[in-house]
Amino acid sequence: MSEAVIKQRRRFNFRGSLCMPYAVFMALFVVFPLVLIFYYAFTDAKGKFTFNNWGTIFTDVTNWKVIGVTFIIAAITTVLCVLIAYPIAYLLSNKKYNSNKVLVYIFLLPMWINFVIRTIGLKALINGLTKWMFGFDLTATYPYVAIVIGMVYDYLPFAILPLYNQMLKMDKNQIEAAADLGANPFQVFTRTIIPMTIPGIVSACTMTFMPTMSSYVIANKMSENTTKIIGNIIEFWFGSSSSPNKYNVGSVLSLVMLMIIGISILIEKSISSKDDSRKVGIW
Amino acid sequence: MENNEQYIIELNNVCKKFPDSDVYAVENFNLKIKKGEFVTFLGPSGCGKTTTLRMIAGFELPTSGTILLNGQDISLLPPYKRPINTVFQRYALFAHLNIFNNIAFGLKLKKIPYTVKVVDKDRIAQLELDNKLDKEELANTACSDQRSELDEKIHKRQEEIAKLKANPSLEIVKFRHYTKKEIQEKVKNALKVVDLEGFEKRDISTLSGGQQQRIAIARAIVNEPEILLLDEPLGALDLKMRKEMQLELKEMHKKIGITFIYVTHDQEEALTMSDTIVVMNDGEIQQVGKPKEIYDEPNNAFVADFIGESNIYTGTMAKDNKVRFLNKYWDADPVDFGKFPVNEKVDVVVRPEDFNIVKAGKGIVDGVVSSKIFKGMHYEYIINVGKAEVVVQSTAELDEGITIGLTVDPINIQIMKKPFVSNFYDGYITKDYKVDFAGSEFKLDILPLFPGASYDEEGTLIDENKQEIAVNNMEINVEVPFEAITISDDLEASDIHGNIISLIYIGDHYEIIVRTDDEEDFVLSTPDLWNENDRVSVLIDTSKIHLSRKGAKK
């Protein structure tokens, strides 16, 4: 090939040019908003550089409490989701119980319904149950319990799906080999099935932790608007606040949430990076 | 009992039927394996050999029948309770563990018994109680004789107690795990056996296929199982590696001396490695024997066909210890004398290397050399004898197209009983897609012989890719069931005429053999009485004829 042709090819890289729409999209909807948030977080209403926004958030003890509560609710929800989803995914991946994959769709079907409607329906159901059994509305008396129930219910499919995918890929031979080498069913589970599904567990954690950290609609519905999580405060600052710095302070909260999620993902990644070879799913 | 002890594992009438299937995967499997033997289950895929192995390992449970290990029934024991380890076809190494932890997997789980001596607390308690009672008695006794007697008793017991406390004497069995040092030692030795010393720290993904298989073997033998099961362990390796590993496995078997049960579909592998070969087909054992026995004296046509190359013909036993095949009479093996009645249809097997090539006319049969392939140690010829093909191996060099004679030492002619409800003929397809057998042409549907084939507009047989299939003179097996044949004394009824040469009354019908002028036989059953030497015409219901391609079993 002559040099001129090579040069010409270099000048116009057709395959590379196919990336352009995505690059534009990313710049517009990911990079630009992030830059904007950073800009707002470190400036005041007049555009002057300041750390005051951070002071506004962190000098208020209730904000600390809300961030802590949000984190705890998200962590409990994640743990519960994975604990519930794991056996379900295991059964679904077993051909004996799920030969035609209909059960998978049944478990994922709730995702087809608007989640606000789902949440309101769930609230009516559990309040009816607790009223009949104990004589009180769960959402009013124990709002935190109600929020966790609502979040687990809404995000369970997000935990089932990555675990199910991972379990379909499990090497059945390794399970048999473990039994062959003297592992009883419990040891087979802890020594081969769990290690083989770690990438799925990490994905399931990420998939439930991220939305539970940021969602506030479920918290509103399941606590009769009495309990605030980080999403509520962000909504307050960007929405109904009358402060002139409202976007700036809200941006600080967004950054805080971003950091919590980011750090959590880094921790999860470091757990799963031990075996790069079998990475799976979203991460 | 004594008899049982020399067998490490016994399978008695083991049957296995999978829930989603109507047929038995393994049927009436009976086998006894001696300690230290190298046994190979050999058969085509789907013959039930792996299922049998999985039942021994415990991954499948037999539908009926029992599996005894050292005389004890283990049929329903879960795999982790059996002192048996498996080397899997796809290695099944634990990807999340390094090599050391893979091999140590079983060792870390294993609990080994050991005896300890402990102080016999029960005995001491008993003695102390006796002393206490005697002391009470002593306090209440006035007689001096009795007192001294009691004193002595008490004193003796105290001495015994002191002795028991000082020397733990009671033996009890406890279980412990291997220590770290023991595990390291054992893993090191196992790696030595498979020739991968110093690989402990490496990751599974850095190994080649052959190395992974060695690790899989090390992982199994490190547990010192009573039986090592190998499920086509070399199937995924390339040819050269496979040959090397075959020899190494054989070496390993000698060195560690445990019983090996090996599953393969590769007859060469089985012949190279095994002490005993179990040939299986359709879930049933066809033959059990030493490699040489199985090669030299196959039980039936299936075994002969599966092990090594064979010429298999349908023959007829004749008078004077002769057998007729390839349209000639051959001297039969003396061991077969009297085994088969005259006129019985049999399978005749001759190995390609057992034919002797002589000058044309000097042999029993003459043939034309139609193809010649140099195979390194010898030439392989295909000789056309009439319309039949004979594969012959010889070191002599012959030119294609010349006519030669063939003889066979009687001892090399294997005669086997035919599983028999039908007449079997060696037929061939003619130019216009008719089938020629038993000296006549029949219009039969040959399409089922060629999957995916069809006729084009001109009536030419074509395959899926629209290529013409050359079928002219292709040899096929023709099976004509007894009930497809009727005979008539109207000689105009068909073209096939013959004389009844045998007439046997079997319970409620006669079994009749009709021999044509070309010396082809038709066996049929009929309720009517005929006379020997009657001249009859033979009618064949062509819809009941079954055709199959030669060598299709492979």
Task: Give me the residue spans of the domains in chain B.
Answer: 2-83+225-289, 113-177, 309-417, 422-549
B98 phi and psi angles, rounded to 5 deg: -80, 180
In the block, tokens 């209909």 appear at: A102
Chain B residues lying within 8 Å of A181, measured CB to CB: 80, 85, 105-106, 109, 219-220, 223
Residues B494-520: b if buried by 16+ CB within 10 A, e if exposed = bebebebebbeeeeeebebbbbbeeeb
What is the chain A residue with the closest CA to B228? Answer: A180
Model confidence pLDDT, tens digit, residues B321-352: 888 888 888 988 877 777 787 877 788 889 89
Quickly count: other Cβ atoms within 10 Å of residue B215's Cβ.
23
Is the CB of A60 inside 8 Å of chain B's CB atoms? Answer: no
Do A180 and B57 make contact, defined as CB atoms within 8 angstroms?
yes
What was the pLDDT predicted at B462?
82
Chain B residues lying within 8 Å of A173, measured CB to CB: 88, 90-92
Is the CB of A100 inside 8 Å of chain B's CB atoms? Answer: no
Which of the two residues, B120 and B76, has the higher pLDDT score? B76
B309-417 falls under which CATH superfamily? Nucleic acid-binding proteins (2.40.50.140)
Model confidence pLDDT, tens digit, residues B131-174: 888 888 888 877 888 888 888 888 888 888 888 888 887 888 88
Least confident interval from A17-26, B104-113, B419-428, B439-448? B419-428
Model confidence pLDDT, tens digit, residues B248-261: 889 889 988 899 99
What was the pLDDT predicted at B552?
45
Do A174 and B223 make contact, defined as CB atoms within 8 angstroms?
no
Is the CB of A192 inside 8 Å of chain B's CB atoms? Answer: yes
What was the pLDDT predicted at A272?
67
What was the pLDDT predicted at B29?
93
Q: Which of A78-92, B20-34, B286-300 has the highest mean pLDDT?
A: A78-92
Listed in sequence order, the DSSP H helices in chain A are 3-11, 14-17, 20-26, 32-41, 52-58, 61-93, 102-108, 115-134, 138-141, 143-168, 172-180, 185-188, 194-214, 217-222, 230-238, 246-272
Do A196 and B85 make contact, defined as CB atoms within 8 angstroms?
no
Residue type, B334: P
Distances (CA, A) of B476 to B63, B450, B454: 38, 12, 18
Indicate the residue of A181, A275, A278 with minimum beta-carbon distance to B106.
A181
Q: Which parts of chain A have pLDDT scores under 70?
A: 1-12, 272-283
What is the chain B residue with the closest CA to A274? Answer: B96
Distances (CA, A) of B554 to A205, B152, B282: 52, 90, 13
Which of the two residues, B548 and B190, has the higher pLDDT score? B190
Chain B residues lying within 8 Å of A188, measured CB to CB: 80
Tell me the pairing of strands B227-231 and B170-177: unpaired
Which of the two residues, B1 and B515, has the higher pLDDT score? B515
Indicate the residue of A183, A195, A274 with minimum beta-carbon distance to B109.
A183
What was the pLDDT predicted at A279?
42
Model confidence pLDDT, tens digit, residues B102-114: 999 999 998 888 8
Q: The tokens of B121 are what?
A: 């607390």
**Beta strands across the sheet bearing B521-526:** B485-488, B535-540, B497-506, B509-516, B521-526
Write the CB contacts of B150 (distance below 8 Å, at least 6 apart in sequence).
B134, B137, B138, B141
What was the pLDDT predicted at A282?
40
A62-278 falls under which CATH superfamily? MetI-like (1.10.3720.10)
Contact B384, B323 (CB under 8 A): no
Which of the two residues, B175 and B344, has the higher pLDDT score? B175
What was the pLDDT predicted at A82?
95
Domain positions in chain A: 62-278
Taking alpha carbons only, the member of B350, B340, B334 closest to residue B298 is: B350
Taking alpha carbons only, the member of B104, B132, B124 closest to residue B188 is: B104
**Beta strands across the sheet bearing B475-481:** B440-442, B435-437, B422-429, B475-481, B546-549
Q: The tokens of B537 are what?
A: 């015409």
What was the pLDDT predicted at A283?
39
Indicate the residue of B80, B93, B96 with minimum beta-carbon distance to A182.
B80
Is the CB of A37 inside 8 Å of chain B's CB atoms? Answer: no
CATH topology match: B2-83+225-289 vs B422-549 = no
Contact A184, B80 (CB under 8 A): yes
Angstrom distance (rounded) from CA B330 to CA A65: 102
What was the pLDDT predicted at B554?
32
What was the pLDDT predicted at A58?
85
Angstrom distance (rounded) from CA B14 to CA B73: 12
| pLDDT confidence tier of residue B509, bands split at 50, 70 and 90 | low
What is the chain B residue with the closest CA to A278? Answer: B95
Do B105 and A179 make contact, defined as CB atoms within 8 angstroms?
no
Average pLDDT value for residue range B445-452? 79
Is the CB of A114 inside 8 Å of chain B's CB atoms? Answer: no
Residue type, A152: V
**Residue B502, strand partner residues:** B513
Q: What average pLDDT is seen over chain B?
A: 86
Is the CB of A278 inside 8 Å of chain B's CB atoms? Answer: yes
At A232, is the secondary structure helix, strand, or coil?
A: helix
Instruction: State the distance between the two ends of chain A, measured CA to CA, in whole angstroms.
Output: 41
What was the pLDDT predicted at B253?
92
B177 pLDDT above the threshold of 70: yes
CB pairs under 8 A between A and B: 72
Q: The tokens of B70 are what?
A: 């050292």
What was the pLDDT predicted at A179?
93
Which of the two residues, B35 and B423, has the higher pLDDT score? B35
What was the pLDDT predicted at A59?
86
Select B2-83+225-289's CATH number: 1.10.3720.10, 3.40.50.300, 3.90.226.10, 3.40.50.970.
3.40.50.300
ipTM for the whole complex: 0.73
Q: What is the CATH number of domain B422-549?
A: 2.40.50.140
**Residue B385, strand partner residues:** B388
